[in-house]
Amino acid sequence: MAARRSWVRREKGGFWVALAAAFFYPIVVATGRIRYEGRERVPAQGGALLVANHISYLDPVHTAVFVHRSRRVPRFLAKHSLWKVPVLGRILAGSGQIPVYRDSADAQRSLGAGTQALQDGKIVVIYPEGTITRDPEGWPMLSRTGMARLALTSDVPVIPMVHWGTREVYDHYNKRFRPLPRTTITVRTGDPVDLSAYRGRPIDAVLLREVTDLVMGRVRDLLAEVRGEQAPVEFFRRGDAA
């Protein structure tokens, strides 16, 4: 499949995507030994929702390069405050990223923009935890349900994705940046989650929570495979932090 994929035409991203790539690829090379696994699971054409864990601010850089190496252009759902950062905000706007307005009247607009991107055949990336995990062991936290709404209102593959090793390089909560010695950074996708049993049901809070926990359970299990460890049974809750 990988050999056939090399002949697929690259999705056009334009100037701002090319500019972001010029910055991101050197960062990826400089911050670790990369191991990207499962790029063939990113559809060569059409929409897909990539659902990822979040352990470091380096994660989006590696996600972007992973998707770009798959010959697609990622559209991230990211907190709207990033659009206020000089240069970065212009790149985000120019490359078609999607600002997320939480706890406001604009929150539905963010989900609407994400749904439209999926229906337009784009690759949309979401970190449902909403921020870097507070779990001291790096496992996923209990996640927000906006991801489930995107998944249920768009008939596209929902693909679990994990990062591991990025927190060893940049640990935001402990204010530690350690590019040496070089760490192996793994990004892996799993098989799409079958949501056929949930589609067509009335979308309410109970269904959204059920689907969110199902998909994030697959993310957690995939992370356990990468780590070679047993995953916890329960999701970490923000209130559990010491």
Residue with tokens 């701002």: 16
Q: Over the stretch 150-188, which tens digit does the pLDDT of each residue have?
A: 999 999 999 999 999 999 999 999 999 999 999 999 999
What are the two backbone dihedrals, phi and then psi, of residue 164, each rounded to the nearest 5 degrees? -150, 135
How confident is the prediction for the chain on average, in pLDDT? 91
Q: What confidence tens digit (pLDDT) does each residue in 41-88 have?
A: 999 999 999 999 999 999 999 999 999 999 999 999 988 888 888 888
Task: Spell out the domain ranges in the chain.
Answer: 32-171+183-227
Query: Is the dihedral angle over the CA atoms 115, 9, 158, 21 positive or is it negative?
Result: negative
Stated as kind and residue range, the H or E segment containing 79 is strand 74-79
Residue 171 tokens, joined: 């640990």
Q: Which CATH architecture has domain 32-171+183-227?
A: 3-Layer(aba) Sandwich (3.40)
Instruction: Give the model's pLDDT for residue 219.
Output: 98
Decide: 117 and 77 in contact? Cβ < 8 Å: no
What is the CB-side half-sphere exposure of residue 185 using CA atoms within 13 A? 29
pTM of the model: 0.92
Beta bridge partners of 236: 141
pLDDT band at 104 (very low <50, low <70, confident <90, very high): low
Closest CA to 202 of 140, 237, 153: 153
pLDDT band of 110, cuts 50, 70, 90: confident
What are the residues whose beta carbons fall under 8 Å from the beta carbon of 237, sequence distance 6 or more? 141, 142
* Better-scored residue on pLDDT, 137 or 104: 137
